[in-house]
Structures are given as C-alpha cells and as structure tokens.
Chains A and B, each alone.
Chain A
Amino acid sequence: MLKTFRIGGVHPPENKLSAGKRIEVIGLPKQVAIPLSQNLGAPSVACVAKGDEVKVGTLIAKAGGFVSSNIHSSVAGKVAKIDEILDASGYRRPAVFIDVNEEEVWEESIDRSETLIKDCPLSSEEIIKKVAEAGIVGLGGATFPTQVKLSPPPGSKAEMLLINAVECEPYLTSDHELMMEKTEEILVGISILMKAIKVDKAIIGIENNKPDAIKLMTDRCRQYTGISVQPLKVQYPQGGEKQLIDAVMGRQVPSGALPIAVGAVVQNVGTAYAVYEAVQKNKPLIERVVTVTGKSVVKPSNYLARLGTPISMLIDAAGGLPADTGKVISGGPMMGKALTSIEVPVTKGCSGVLIMPTLEAQRQKMQNCIRCAKCVNVCPMGLEPYLLMSVGEREIWDRSEKERVMDCIECGCCSFTCPSNRPLLDYIRISKSKVGAIIRSRK
C-alpha cells in the first residue's frame, strides 16, 4: 500500500494536459510590472526611483519586515514609474514598472553558465543569508519567505527536511517538469537546504501519477547522502504541508503549531531549485516555471517566465485565449485564484495559468444542506464544514473558533464534494478572517 495522509481527501480528475512538455523560455515583454507585494507577510519597499537604470538581478525592493522578501528586477531597463497596478484580486497595489531595454545586461555577480556546482562550502547562516538576499519564497503557491522557514524558532530542532514534489493540484505540471529537467540542480539545492537547517535526512514526496519523476529522482539521489524518494498515493490535498508530513512521516502537526513541532521542515521542489541558483550561481529569484493549460487551450505548455511578464503573453504563446473561455485561474483549480483580467503580471506565487471553458466555470445552483456528511468525510483536517458554514453565515464567531475554524487549510475538498453545491469554503474563509482578527485583537 502506498502511503498517504490519514484523514479525508478527494481525488479530482487529474487532467495533467501539459505533462512531459519541455520547459520553454518566454520572450521579454516591452514593459514589466513587478508588484511589491509578492509574498505572504509584509509588502516589500521599493528602493529604486523613476528613471533609474536597472540590470537583470538588480535589487529593486527590500524586505519590508521580518516576514517579507527582497524583489529583484527581472529585466534590464529603465524604471518607468512606480505606480499602482490591478492585482489578481482586482485591487490596486503598488508595483515597479520597468521599460525593457533591447540589450540584456545582467548583474556581474550572477553566474549564467550551465555547469553544475555540487560543493557548497558555506555555513548554515551564510546559506540562509544568501537565500534571504535572493528574495526566495515558497514557490508552491503559499509564497512564505523561505529564510523565515529555514530559521526555526529557538528551542525547536528540525529532524528532517521534506521536499514537496507532490503537485496534487489537477492540471499543474510545473514542478513535475522541473524535476525532469533540473534533477541534479534540485538535488544539490536539497543538500544545501539540509545544511541550512542542520539535518542529515531529506525525503522527497512524489505522487504516484509521476512515475517517470519518481524513477529519475530515485536513480539520481543515490549519489547524495541522506536524500530519498517516497512515492505517495494520489490524493488531494497531499501537497498541504500538514498532510505531507502525515503521509511521509506518519506524524500529525498539532492544531495551531508549526511543522517544526514534529521536527519537520517542508520546502517545495521549485524552492529547492531556486535555492540552488541563489547559493551556487548568485542568481536571485527573477523567473519561475508556469504551466499554461486548460481543456480548450491549443498548446498546453510549461513556460519559464520572468516575473512581471503579463499573463496574456503566456496565454498567447500557448495558442491564445480560446473563444469559449469562462474563467482564467492563477494556480490550480482547487486553490487557485480567478483573475479579473489577463493583464496581471506573473508573480512569485504563480505556478500555473488555467483556462476554463464557460460551461465548467459556472457553479451549479445551491440547494439545501441534506446533512449527508460527505464534507465531514473528506475534510483532511477532521472539521465539520457544514457546521462551520452555518455558524459562519449566522456570524457566531465564538462557536466558529470552538469548532476550530482556524485549522482549515482552505483546500476546497468540502465545496468540491458537496452534492448540494453549497459554497462551504466561501463562508469558512470569511469566518477564518473574522475569527483570526478577533484572536489577534485579544493579544
């Protein structure tokens, strides 16, 4: 029996249309818009001004707090303006606009050769400092600044590094393709991460629907001490941090605690690659792999795109926006964000662009809850979504808190499975933000 997490879960149709498509590099746009808020936590503070010349890799915004990250220019050019741009959610957020020069000039410190550098002589602190300077965030989509995750709070000790290569979201294949093409780099990156958190064991969790990646990684990881591959049963949301720890290590992170409480640090496989580039090649996080996919997309593909490239350019490269487009989603279908416009830029957290036809995009009509308990059965956190929704609708926040609404990981299994098409997660998410505010105000 393959390992998986123990509570709940669903298995949506996988639809990995772009699997096996090699990563293509997307050309540069005329102008990039790099939002200043690309990570979880505080937004970054711009440190360039209008008219400044920047090279590829020049620091343009510094971390705006402890939980924040640096942002670097993804192109060479001139800062056109620092203005507001519509972000994925239709609100205006500050961004740095850079007019792209024809000639591409890179920062001199960046090593652009393809040669693999295996040895890393740096100490743990030096690695973490380099990761912070490179502006690396969790590339699975949560965009939590990586350096914060690598510095465990005092008193806790990591035992093991888990590499999240699960990619449990349907449609997305960017991590899969990265593993196939940058295998060695990822493994070196994992070794560096192990050194950073001072552990001698790392396990890469990969779902069983990627047998080629499992085979390749298993073959290659023999040359690296302490790294092994754990194939996992296909089950959503295995890519959730707590679910992955449960699946691989058989330990459950207590409510409200961090993974470090059970001795685990989880990093995405894409993050491991970014760490390799930052530490060994001095290359900050300026580009990422983005899957562009959808049932009516002409050419579902995996692209390497510079941050700030408009999503419309990626869609054009994949054959243009299909006529029956109903919804464009940044991320996967279970947790991704529906976009209001395709002109928004690629950001650090954008793992895929999913284009859904109109027919699939519309939700069905909501009906009465028939208390079938299916949401309770699939909830990976062991919550009762039907109850959380009804207390959320009635705004009984103390009851919500007591029913552990804050444990919800917003995976969407409940809404996915509900036979009455009830918007369970919509209300749970609202409850979470209200209850979270109440808890913060108590302190």
Chain B
Amino acid sequence: MENKLVVSPSPHVHGGDSISKNMYGVLIALIPAFIVSLYAFGLGALIVTLTSVVACMFFEFAIQKYLIKGNKTLCDGSAALTGVLLAFNLPSNIPLWIVIIGALVAIGVGKMSFGGLGNNILNPALVGRVFLLISFPVQMTTWPIADAANRFTTMDVETGATPLSLIKFGAADQVNVWDAITGMISGSMGEISVIALLLGLCYMLWKKIITWHIPVSIFAGVVVLSLLTGLNPLVQLATGGLMLGAIFMATDYVTSPMSHKGMLIYGFMIGAITIIIRKFGAYPEGVSFAILLMNAATPLINTYCKPKRFGEVKKNG
C-alpha cells in the first residue's frame, strides 16, 4: 500500500524554535554570572545552586506526577531555570533547608498552583525569593563578603553589608562603583557582577531570546527616578539585584507584557518603583517587589497596550 500523505493546514515548515531552546539559552546566558559567584563565594555558591535546581526539578516532577495533569515540562529547562534564578537571589551561606522551602514555594505556589508553565501570573523564582525574605529576614540578609578566604568553606564566613544597605543607613561614601561593576561586593550570589550579567544580556539579544525593550526601559526608569530623587544613577544601576532583575527576572516570558509598547511601560515602571522603594521604603532593595508588582499589572497592560497595527501608522499616506 502506498504510504499515506500527511495533510495539515499551512504553514508546513517550522522555524525550529522551542521552549527548551529558549530556556537553555537563558541558562547559558547565566553562566558568566555563575562563574563570578563561584569565584567570589566559592563552594557555597555551587552547593546552594545545585540544591535549588534539584529541589525545583523534584517539586515540578512530583506535582506533575501526582497533582496536575498536562504536558510534562520537567525536561524543558524551565524548572531548572527557576532553580538557578532562585539560587542567584540567595546569599551563598544560607542554610540548605531554607533553599528547599524556597523551591517548594517557587514551583508549588508560584508556578504549579496556576496550572503550570505559561499560566503563572508572577515570576516563580521571585515568589520563592520574596517568601523567604519575609519569612527568614535574618538568614536572607546576612551576606558573605566576596573574598578569596571564604572560597572553600560554607560555614562561619565573614559577612558584610551590601552597598545598598550602606546607602540606606547613611554610609554611601563607602560604596565603590568599580567593585560593584566587577562583582567584588557582598550580595546575593548572582547579582554581584554587572559585567557578567551584561554579557548574558548580549548573548540573549544575539540569540534573539529576548528583545531590548524591557532591560533598557528598566535602566531608563532607574536613571530618571534617581536623578529626580537626587541619587547617583550609576550606583543605583550597578548595585543590588537590579541588573539580575532587569536582565533575567523581568524579562521572564510568561509574566511580561506582549507588545513593545507594553514592555516599555512595564520596564520603566519597574525601574521607577525600585528606586522609590530604595529611597523611601523600609527595605534597602526593591527590585523583587517592583517586578512582582508589575507582573501583577501585566494582564492590564496587555489589555490596553496593543502592538502597532498595520495601516495605522500614516492615515494620509
């Protein structure tokens, strides 16, 4: 018998893009930041990251096996990415059981309770991170100093204040912008080196994983609001979780707007809210909250910001 022809609607070719390609692309883009954090914080960074990734993937697997039916998304890299991003938002000396709780909240509450990949409203890694920040404020804000002496131990590391807490508590003169750019400061694992994170941004732009709109508009929001409130924009850009947030967290596909106009508004508002929290809020750092707030506003932005329709550019030719 002649083999049966396949019939399907057009188009009959596909670009070959896939979810896992994008997710693994982001993971590759995170490698430079990971290397810097290994150099700065040593073994602790490795252990926390591994724990977080394994925990996230385990919870994803377990929930999809026993609770939620649907496509299995264990191997597409999205759970691993959540794990890495969660770890990058934690100090490297954090007790591992806290990491596991964070992973459970990130995957279980942040992602799966909404129906899994693609349905969540908030960035899962940030949900996990903020949950931990509120539940375990002491552990979450005891930052190890980036120092060669700490590299091979996970306990009893020397700790120090982050540049942002220095600014918050009136010691702004101790902040060295150059250290912040290279990454030799205290802070969460992934956020310390501006250069490494920008490398990741370049990679993602080159691979067309993300567009420039969100990161650039976040930077713009930060610069504008810092100038208005009398802060040094360069310090604000280089310190805290801003780079990590702007490049990797705010650009999360699922929770960011769909149109370019929407992306610009979303990004600018994240930048603005971050500075407002840093300047007037109780916390020294506000990127996580700013992103979560704007995540929640994304459906609204999507409703009102439509892409530029064909034929609307020039009315009179």
Contacts and interface: CB of A to CB of B under 8 A. Distances in A.
- The answer to whether A and B touch directly, with their CB atoms under 8 angstroms apart, is yes
Interface in A367-388: 367-374, 376-377, 379-384, 386-387
Contacts of B116: 368
B9 A426 contact: yes
B173 interface: no
**Residues of B contacting A: mostly:** loop
B14 A340 contact: no
Contacts, number: 176
A415 B310 CA distance: 19
A407 B253 contact: no
B228 interface: no
Contacts of A426: 9
Contacts of A253: 310-311
Contacts of A285: none
B118 interface: yes
A417 B15 contact: yes
Given A368-B71, A370-B19, A361 B258 contact: no
B211 A377 contact: yes
Nearest to A429: B9
Contacts of B71: 365, 367-368
A66 B11 CA distance: 31
11 contacts: A242-B310, A252-B312, A325-B5, A327-B8, A368-B117, A368-B119, A382-B307, A386-B258, A407-B309, A420-B19, A425-B10
Nearest to A426: B9
A90 B5 CA distance: 12
A423 interface: yes
Interface string A32-72: 00000000000000000000000000000000000000000
Contact of A370 (B12, B117, B307): B117
Interface of B: 3, 5-15, 17-19, 21-22, 70-71, 73, 76, 78, 116-119, 211, 253-259, 263, 306-315, 317
A10 B13 CA distance: 12
A338 B19 contact: no
A384 B307 contact: yes
A367 B73 contact: yes
Contacts of A6: 313
B11 A415 contact: yes
A415 B308 CA distance: 20
Contacts of A341: 5
Nearest to B257: A373
Contacts of B258: 371, 373, 376, 384, 386-387
A326 B5 contact: yes
Nearest to A323: B3
A116 B82 CA distance: 69
Nearest to B118: A368
A425 B317 contact: no
A262 interface: yes
A325 B3 contact: yes
Contact of A362 (B6, B70, B315): B6
